[in-house]
Structure formats: C-alpha cells, structure tokens
Amino acid sequence: VFNKAQEGDFSARYDEGADQMPDPVTVIGRAYNKMRAHLEAIVLTDPLSGCFNRRGLNQLAEREVSRAVRGKKNIAVLAIDVDHFKAINDTLGHQFGDEVLKAVATAVRGATRGTDLHFRWGGDEIVVLLSKATTDGVLVAAERIRSAIRAYARAEGLHLDSSIGIA
C-alpha cells in the first residue's frame, strides 16, 4: 500500500484488521486510511452541491456497472436538467443561483434512496444512478424528484421545473 502511495496510486486501503497491536505501522496505516478518505472526498465531490462530481461519476459508475453485471441486476441513469435556471442566474445573480443549486441537489437526494448515487454533471445538471432499478421504480423516482424540485420552487416563489431523461 505504501509503495503504491509513493507512486501516486491511492486506490488501495491499508488493512487494519490484519494488525493485532497498534504498532507504528498500524498507526501510520490508520492515518493513511483517514487521509485517503479525506482526499477522496475532496477529489470526487462537488463542493457546491455536495454531490459527486464528474470524476466521481466516472469512477463510481464503472464500479456500479460492474456490480450490476456481476449480480445480473438492472441499473438506471436519470439525467436531470433544471428548467429556467439561466433566468434565475440572470435576474437574481449567480450567488442566489448557487443557493438554488444547493437546494435542488438536497431535494434530489431527499427524493431518492440512500443507496442511489448523485452527481453534479455541470451547471444545473444532476445525474442520479439508481441501482437495482425496475422500470416502475425508475419512473416513480423520476416523478418524486420532479415533485421535490417543484415543491422547493413553489415554497421559494421561483419559476423553475426540471426535465429528466431516463436510461
């Protein structure tokens, strides 16, 4: 693990379970795991929305697709675009638009299962990866997301909606 880390490969975790006593190597290994998790969060997370970023999508989608193939399970992708978002930025300012994006991301996460993965693709676009998806379940999830975004918009007196593509 440490040799790989020296070469810039932080993909492996230090196996803390193999150590019986907290010797110096174990202490360093535990610190490495904490730092690795912290760096992973920084590198894979969009700081504005709290969703994973594009890099996170690339890494985690590959893992989820492999898992679905192995388990012979379906997965679905929802591509969400916030309608009329440009008008919010243009009329109310980008700082307010950032607050809207945070709220929309929170609404999307609240409308989906804890096992679903959320990504900010860019701008006002959010991607949700649904594991163990059924056709009916995907349609229900998409409608819950649209309803959550609409409810937020109504509560804030905003004119926005969402369009959702499903694959």
73-106 pLDDT, tens per residue?
A: 999 999 999 999 999 999 999 999 999 999 999 9
> Six-digit token pair at 102?
């945070």
| pLDDT at residue 54, as a whole number | 93
| pLDDT at residue 9, as a whole number | 77
Q: CA 60, 122, 80: angle at the middle one, nearest 5?
A: 80
d(CA 100, CA 87): 12
Q: Is 124 a catalytic residue?
A: yes
| pLDDT at residue 10, as a whole number | 75
> Six-digit token pair at 153?
């918009």
Query: Phi then psi for 78, rounded to 5 degrees?
Result: -110, 125
- Single out the catalytic residue among 81, 83, 124, 161: 124
pTM of this prediction?
0.79
Q: Say if CB 154 and CB 161 are below 8 A apart.
A: no
* Pairing, β 161-166 against β 125-131: unpaired
Residue 59 CB burial class (10 angstroms; 0-12, 13-18, ≥19) = middle
d(CA 79, CA 66): 20
d(CA 25, CA 40): 22
d(CA 129, CA 51): 12
Q: pLDDT under 50 in the chain at which residues?
A: none
